[in-house]
Amino acid sequence: MIKVAAIQMCSGTQPERNVQTMERMVREAAAAGATYVQTPEMTGALQRDRAIFSTILREQENDIIACRAGELAAELGIYLHVGSTAIARGDGKIANRGLLFDPKGRLATTYDKIHMFDVDLDNGESWRESSAYTPGKDARVIDLGFARLGFAICYDVRFPALFRAEAVAGAEILTVPAAFTRQTGEAHWHVLLRARAIENGAFVIAAAQGGLHEDGRETYGHSLIIDPWGRILAEGPEAGEAVIFAELDISASRAARARIPNLKNARDFNLDMLPALAKGGLTA
């Protein structure tokens, strides 16, 4: 059994304030016994103004969130997973990057968000992540000793092949830190995350942003921890800060996969594109 925590934030536009919030909530999680703690997507800042955003960007070794997270992980003796923060790549583009620090404060691995949120929503919201961010190319699974952890960020949740690949590689915990919009969250957040847990026989941990942010956007909240059978073990509020906890029995992942062995039973197949039917029905 391991105790995990997901931290729900409502990140503002200034990393200096957000890092203080992150530290306070990480300490709360560790004090309650969590050995793995996850923060949401864009922990460092949510800022729509590109010109202002560019002034707060730093490369990873100088990023305030990355540096403080490593120090906290070492001090508290925990795995600290910064769900993501914006990292300057040095080529004029940005990485939406997750960072996992081990209990000695060492950077265990990073993950750059693969799928870019380029959408136009019914309420007039329009997002083009690819105009600023460089998408990642590599899925990641890391063995922490007590469990294998797979990585994703927010919009990645809509691409089940990513999660299937990580599960086939042995991931028992799938992570989906996010800053889901309110509109899409109300429609799809719970069902997508529960589906990823069920179809892969894995725990899902999804720390979320929640509430009305300083830059005017509104995120859905409802941070979730879900078991391999799709049951919600812990859930955050619709808006505002929260730390949610669950104790995970990692053997439950193996048990779920034994009961419904769909990962093992998957088969390759061919797809035939058939010609259109003639008007009036089938032809001879």
Residue 113 known to be catalytic: yes
Residue 41 known to be catalytic: yes
User: In this structure, what token pair is assigned to residue 56?
Assistant: 């707060």
Burial 156-169 (b: 16+ CB within 10 A, else e): bbeeeebbbebbee
Choosing from 3, 16, 23, 41, the catalytic residue is 41
Amino acid at 125: E
Strand ranges, E, within the chain: 2-8, 36-38, 79-88, 94-101, 107-112, 118-120, 126-128, 141-143, 148-151, 173-175, 203-206, 210-212, 218-220, 224-226, 232-235, 242-248
Nearest of 250, 4, 256 to residue 147 by alpha carbon = 250
Residue 154 known to be catalytic: yes
Choosing from 10, 113, 129, 235, the catalytic residue is 113
Choosing from 10, 129, 154, 235, the catalytic residue is 154
Catalytically annotated residues: 41, 113, 154
